[in-house]
Each structure stands twice: as C-alpha cells, then as structure tokens.
Amino acid sequence: MNKVLLIIQREYLTRVRKKSFIVMIFVVPLLILAMGAVIALVAKDSNELGEKQVVKVIDESGQFAGKFKNQRNLEFEYTKQSYAEVKAELLKNENISALQIPADYTKNDAVKISSKKKPGITIIEKVEAEMNNIAMNNGMLKNHIDTAILRSIKSNISLSPVEITETGDKKTSLGANIGVGIACAILIYLALFIYGAQVMRGVIEEKTSRIIEVIISSVKPFQLMLGKIIGVGLVGLTQFSAWIILSVISTKILGHSLSSSGGMMSALAVLQTIPVGKVLFCFIFYFLAGYLLYSALFAAVGSAVDSETETQQFMFPITLPLLFTYMLSVTILFRAPDSPLAVWLSIIPFTSPVAMMLRMPFGPPDWQIYLSMALLVLGFLFTTYIAARIYRVGILMYGKKASYKELVKWFFYKE
Amino acid sequence: MLSIRNIVKQYAGHRALSDVSLEVKSGQVFGLLGPNGAGKTSLIRIINQITAPDSGEVLFDGEKLNQSHINRIGYLPEERGLYKKMEIGEQMIYLARLKGLSRDEAVRRLKIWFERLGMETWWKKKIEELSKGMQQKAQFVATVLHEPDLIILDEPFSGFDPVNAEIIKDEILALNKKGATILFSTHRMESVEELCDSIALIHKSHKILDGTVKSIRNSYRNATYLVEYNGTALTFDGKQPFEVVEAKEGSDNDNTIKIKIAENSTSNDVLQYLLPKVHINMLQEVIPSMNEIFIEQVNLIR
C-alpha cells in the first residue's frame, strides 16, 4: 500500500509542477470570462448598425412615402430620382442603399434593396419589419380597422415558472437550469476525456521508455495502474477546485464592480434557484466515478499499443457512448430531461456521468440518482478488473500489433 | 541463494523455458548464457516476479519466492529506460523508495554513488538531456542503490563504451566482493571468463550446460597442445607420440604445430621426442574458450 502512495505522489507532483498546469489554472477561468464578455458584446451589438446607413426609397407604389421611421444609424430618404441615378451615387458611397418598391410590391421578391456592399442582414431585417408594419397599417386603414384599439388589446404574456415543494414554492428559472445542466454535461465530458487521455499517455510513456520493467520488478502492475489513475484523478480534482475557487472570487469581484448595472446580480440571483451544493457534490462524484470507469479502460488501451498513433482502433468504442450522450445532451435531452431516453442514459454507467449531470439542475428523483450512482460504482469496479487483466500483460508486450482477439487472450492469461 | 527448480513457461505460440533447473550459490557471479531468444529474459522475469512460471518453483534463500524478496533484488533490464522528463536525482530516489528505502537514506547513498562515478553535476538534469551512455550509468546506480543481496543484470555491458564498461565491471566485482550475488545474462563471452564463477547455457528453452567455468572448461580438454619451435620444419613418420592437427610455417624457421597427444602418452613424452630434433620455444595446452564451447554446444542442438 505504501508503494501505491509513492506512485500516486509521483504521478501527482510531476503533473502539478508542470508549468502548463499552473498556466491552465489561471488561463481557463480568464478565457471563460473573456468568452462570456465577447458573447455578451456580440449579442448586444448584432442588433445595431455600426455606421450611419442611408436608405434611398424609390417608391413607385406611393404606399410607403413618408411612413418609414428613422432609427438609430438608419435614415430613410425619399427620392424622385430614377434607379440609374441613384445607382451612380451608390457606387460612390457604400453606406447608401437603394430600396425599390414597385407598384405591385406584394409579389414575391418584388421589392429590391441594393448597395455597393452586399446588404447586411440587420439592415434587411429592419427594413423588412418596417415595410411589413406599414403595409399592415395600410391594410387595416383600408378595411376600417382602428389601429389604436388593436394596439390596446394586443397581449404580451410570459410565463413565470414556479416549482412546488413541501417547504414552499420557489421560483425556478428554466434558462438557468438548461444553462447549468449543459455546462455540467460539457465539463464532465471534457474532463473524462482530458484526464482519461492523460492516464493513457502516462502508460504509453512508461511502456515506450521501457521503464515499466524496472517499476514492475518493484511493484505489481495493478498497483502501478491504480497509483497512476488515482494520481491523475487528484490532479483533475486540484484543477477543478482551483477553477471553482477562482471563479467564485472573480464573480465576487466582478459582482461588486458591476453591481450598478445589475445584470450580473440578476444572473447570480437566478443561479440561486438551483441547488448549487447538491449539483456540486454530484459533479465531483460523477467526475470521480466516471473518471475511474473510463481511465481504467484508457490505461488498458495504453498498455496494448506501442505509440499514441496506434490507439485509434481501441479508442473509438470507448469514446462512442460518451460522445453519443454528449451529442444528445446538448441537442435534444436538455429539452426533455425527464424523458425515458434521458432517464435510461442517466442510469447506465457508461453514459450516466454526462446524462445525469445534465438532468441534475432539474431535480431528478432521488431513487434515480442513487441507482445511477450505485451502478456507476459497480461499473468502475468492473472495468478496473477487466482493464487490470489486460494491462498486466500488455505492458510487457513489445512490437506485437494488438487486436481485439489478442486482448481477449491476454484477459484469460494466468499470472 | 537462488534455487530454480523445473521451471516451465509456455507462451501462446512457443515454449520459452522447458524444465530448467539452476543453482546460484551465495556470493557467486553467475553467468546466464544463450543465443538470442533462448529464454534468458523469460527466466530473469520469473526471478523478478514480473511473470510467474506455469510450473516449477523458485526458492530464494530457501524460501519460496514472494513479494518480501523484492526489496532484496536489484534488476537492470536489457531494454533500459527511465522517465525522460524527470530529474535524475529525484528519479533515482523514487526508484529506491519503491524498493523500500527511506528518502533520507536514498539521498545519502545517492550522493556517494554520484561522487564515485563522477555524476555530481547531473542531479538536476532530466534524463532526456543525458547521452545514452550516461543514462545507462544512471540506471546502473538505480539498480544497486538499495544494496540488494541479489543483483540481476540483463546484458549489463551493452550500450557502454569500453571505458565505461570497464568502470561498470569493476563496480560489479566490488559489489560482489561486498557480498552481493550477481546473476547476469550476456552473449559477450570474454566477459564471462573474466567475471563468472559459474555459468548456465540455455538454448531453445532448455538448459544444456551448467557448472563452474573451470570445471566446464576442464571437461572440454582434449589433449590438444600448441608447440612452437625453431628449426627446419619437421616431418613425421608415424612413430611420434602424437598426431598433428595443424602445421604452420613462420618466418626465420619459426614453426607452429597443433598436436593431439596419443592415448597413454603425456606432454613429457612429446618433449622427449622433440628435444633432440629442434629448439622448442613453447608448449601450451589448448583449452577451448567458453566462446568455442558455446558455439559447439549450440551447433550441436540445431
């Protein structure tokens, strides 16, 4: 047991001391913050026009004259010039566009907007909305409908979701649930891959550098495998803990500096509708158990090959269930977190880390969580057993191209 | 020290060891010889408990080999290797601690060894920064740092330049003098005669020869002698007490003949026959070298 501790210590320290590890601790939260800022900026800006745009309206129908409303950075000018004259102007200034409205404007694609640049999607949308509004108003006037009354009876209903519990009603936020669920699923998925692959690379390194024979003349192969898996797992935990602490600190700081804007605060308030403690606990559990399950398999793959390039054929079946669940999670499952497919995926060990984390913010029934956890523990005991039997033979096999048949043979080898 | 009894090891396609038995006595330098693929490494792996035999047993100091013996064995595999990205000092300490040494003790001994082999400046270097020969030296230190009772070396001299091979050879002998039993495999025969007390020859999974180097060579004596004389080349009429195997004429009337002495005759009879005829420079018994015995034995079983 003492020797396993030594191995864990080495695996952990050599990784944690690496410069890349320390850099990652700080870079990733910064990247996430920066990405968030960029997304917010882009989302805000994409509805605005960057420069003042002038639209020259050539109205042959006479229905629209004087009815366009100017907006920020978007001005409408009515002109009696012919299209050819306007065109000459367009070629000179790319911030001018021409809107041709023929007499029979209701026909498909009859209305044309042209400019030197390709007309932007924002400007097209704005002009389209404006024209539709005007056309509708015109239509209503023609049919003697009072637009004032119509406006007053127009409704704008939005639902406020409330979850009823025994301790009292609480406000929930579907958006936050989905956000947190998908974020957890993606994180688990990435973490399983990143740290599983690290275990595999570690095994291949020992095999190709041939130090393996020295080590296993001192410890049993299983001890080495276990030490490596636990050591790398602790590296993962350290990394996540550092990220969580850094995120909490940075949101606190940002929260203070942005408290006037209130946007960040309301986002935090929304997050409070989710059982953060429970989600966090489950995240750690599913990361650890899922990692143990997959890293054992990754270790077996590493032991069967001579270099990283040969891992492809074995990696595919291992990654398939994870990839499959991940794809389903971010596309369909978050819309129906209690559907039978989601429930089954969150119970089967190979897919449960991703699927259950996706469901977690929506509060799945306790029995499902317990069943899924128990099965996951059984699952990793099972894969570790299989992997250890392949590993002990594989690490001593050089130059032999391993096939699945070969792996099965190794599994049945006596000591 | 080590008693190997009726070991059989079967791999999927072939038999690596069939019914091999060996005795390695305490304090010996034991050479395990054999062509490539004979089964030497398989046997060494079994002694190191890396693999287990299909049948047969290994006794270490009279006890059945078990995990408690691991710390008393030092092993230098044929395929050398260390963690490339790890600092050498730290790596040596790690390997020693895996063999049950405390950290402080490992540091203390390592300093002594590094000084002795002129490696003091390597402590903070990474393995990948060292030359191949330097890596081998470091690995040798890692093998013996925990002062094992049994040191197993698989092809210890491969990869060393002659100067370093000599240094390592001296270190091996020094360790042997201090009481360590050495078991090494090699196909470099000259090192065998120089180093080994006993040998075993393994060929195609069978042990075909074992014993002390002296007794083996003696058993291969076949009354062959080399005679060097000065004078005109002799012609023989069949009455001489020997048979000429080979005759060579050198310059200035120097002649060499290789003879096989007839039964019931001795080297003295040869001298008496030759003395009146020529001036004798040398008479030497030809004992086959281990190399010749090795080749002869291997060719015998083909």
Measured between beta carbons, which residues in chain A are less than 8 angstroms from residue B142?
Answer: 214
Query: Is A209 within 8 Å of B81 when comparing Cβ atoms?
Result: yes
CA distance B16 to chain A (A): 15
How far apart CA A214 and CA B148 sit, in angstroms, is 14
Q: What is the pLDDT of residues B80-114, one digit of tens each?
A: 889 988 899 999 999 999 998 999 999 999 999 99
B-chain CB neighbours of A223 within 8 Å are none
Q: Which residues contact A315 (CB under 8 A, 6 or more apart)?
A: A301
B-chain residues within 8 Å CB-CB of A214?
75, 77, 81-82, 95, 139, 142
- Same domain for A328 and A195, yes or no, is yes
B contact test, residue of A4, A204, A213 with most B CBs within 10 A: A213
ipTM, interface predicted TM-score of the complex: 0.82
Pick from B83, B85, B185 the residue to mutate for testing the A interface (most A CBs within 10 Å).
B83
Q: Is A285 within a domain?
A: yes
Write the single-letter amino acid at A340. Answer: P
Which residue, A91, A125, A153, sits at the end of a domain? A153
In a domain, A314, yes or no: yes
| Residue of higher predicted confidence among A344 and B234 | A344
Whether the CB of B77 is below 8 Å from some CB of chain A: the reply is: yes
Q: What is the 3-state secondary structure (H, E, C) of chain A?
A: CHHHHHHHHHHHHHHHCCHHHHHHHHHHHHHHHHHHHHHHHHHHHCCCCCCCEEEEEEECCCCCCCCCCCECCEEEEECCCCHHHHHHHHHHCCCEEEEEECCCCCCCCCCEEEECCCCCHHHHHHHHHHHHHHHHHHHHHHCCCCHHHHHHHCCCCCCCCEEEECCEEEECCHHHHHHHHHHHHHHHHHHHHHHHHHHHHHHHHHHHCCCHHHHHCCCCHHHHHHHHHHHHHHHHHHHHHHHHHHHHHHHHHHHHHCCCCCHHHHHHHHHCCCCHHHHHHHHHHHHHHHHHHHHHHHHHHHHHCCCHHHHHHHHHHHHHHHHHHHHHHHHCHHHCCCCHHHHHHCCCCCCHHHHHHHHHHHCCCHHHHHHHHHHHHHHHHHHHHHHHHHHHHHCCCCCCCCCHHHHHHHHHCCC
pTM check: above 0.80: no
Residue A214 in domain? yes
A20 within domain boundaries: no
- Do residues A120 and A231 share a domain? no
Q: In this predicted structure, what is the pLDDT of residue A406?
A: 82
Residues of A in Cβ contact (< 8 Å) with B12: 409
Residue type, A256: H
Radius of gyration of chain A (CA): 31
Which CATH number goes with the domain that contains A95?
3.40.190.10
**pLDDT surpassing 90 at residue B242:** no
Cα A47 versus chain centre, distance = 24
What residue type is assigned to position A361 of the chain? P
Give, rounded to a whole angstrom, the gap between the first and last alpha carbons of chain A: 20
Domain's final residue, options A92, A123, A153: A153
Contacts of B50 in chain A (CB under 8 A): 213, 216-217, 396
Tokens of residue B116, six digits: 């002795």
- Within 8 A of B126 by CB-CB distance, chain A residues are none
Is A217's CB within 8 Å of B49's CB? yes
Which residues from chain A sit within 8 angstroms of residue B99, using beta carbons?
218
Residues of chain B contacting A414 with CB distance shorter than 8 Å:
52, 54
Asked if residue A234 and residue A121 are part of one domain, the reply reads no
**B-interface mutation test, from A13, A208, A214, A414, most B Cβ less than 10 A away:** A214
pLDDT of residue B23: 92
- Calculate the alpha carbon distances from B105 to A125, B71, B86, B110 in Å: 78, 14, 20, 8
Instruction: Return the pLDDT at A124.
Output: 82
Q: Which two tokens stand for residue B149?
A: 């009772």
> A–B: how many Cβ contacts below 8 A?
61
Verify that A178 and A305 share a domain, yes or no. yes
Point out the residue among A10, A209, A217 whose CB comes nearest to the CB of B48: A217
Q: Is the distance from CB of A362 to CB of A337 less than 8 angstroms?
A: yes
pLDDT tens readout for residues B122-146: 889 998 888 888 888 899 999 999 9
Domains and CATH numbers, chain B: 2-218 (3.40.50.300), 222-286 (3.30.70)
Select from B46, B54, B98, B144 the residue whose CB has the most chain A CBs within 10 Å, as the one to mutate to test that interface. Answer: B98
Shortest CA gap A198–chain B (Å): 15
CB contact under 8 A, A213 and B73: no
Rounded to whole angstroms, the Cα distance separating B59 from B69 reads 10
Q: What is the model's pLDDT at position A86?
A: 82
B98 and A414 within 8 Å at the Cβ level: the answer is no
Residue A19 lies in a domain: no
**Portion 190-229 of B in contact with A at CB < 8 A:** none
Same domain, A205 and A340: yes
In chain A (415 residues long), the average pLDDT of successive 10-residue segments reads 89 91 85 73 62 82 80 81 81 82 80 80 81 84 80 74 63 72 86 91 90 90 93 92 82 60 52 73 91 94 87 87 88 84 91 89 88 94 93 83 82 76
Identify whether residues A224 and A314 lie together within a single domain.
yes
B52, B83, B99 ranked by CB distance to A211: nearest: B83
Same domain, A121 and A230: no
CA–CA distance, A235 with A239 (Å, rounded to integer) = 6
Output the six-digit token pair for A342: 């989601």
Which residues on A lie below 8 Å from B51 (Cβ)?
396, 415
Whether A125 and A202 map to the same domain: the answer is no
Domain annotation covers residue A30: no
Q: Provide the 10 A C-beta neighbour count for residue A299.
A: 30
Cβ–Cβ of B54/A14 closer than 8 Å? no
Q: Which of A124, A153, A182 is the last residue of a domain?
A: A153
Inter-chain CB proximity B75 and A409 less than 8 Å: no
Place of tokens 């002795």: B116
Q: How far does the CA of residue B81 sit from the closest CA of chain A (Å)? A: 4
Q: With CB atoms and an 8 Å threshold, state whether A218 touches B98.
A: yes
Q: Are strands B73-76 and B150-154 parallel, antiparallel or unpaired?
A: parallel
Total domain count for chain A? 2
Residues A202 and A122 in one domain: no
Radius of gyration, CA atoms only, chain B:
25
A348 and A304 both lie in a single domain: yes
Question: So what's the pLDDT on residue A262?
Answer: 47
In a domain, A6, yes or no: no
Based on the domain organization, do A139 and A190 belong to the same domain? no
Chain A residue with minimum CA distance to B68: A218
> Would you list which residues of chain A are within 8 Å, Cβ to Cβ, of chain B?
3, 6-7, 10, 14, 205-206, 209-219, 396, 398, 409, 414-415
Residues A297 and A370 placed together within one structural domain of the fold: yes
- What angle do the packed helices A2-16 and A221-257 form, to 10 degrees? 40
Which chain A residues contact residue B94 at CB under 8 A?
6, 10
pLDDT tier, B159 (very low <50, low <70, confident <90, very high otherwise)? confident
A2 domain-assigned? no
Range of the structural domain that residue A116 is part of: 53-153
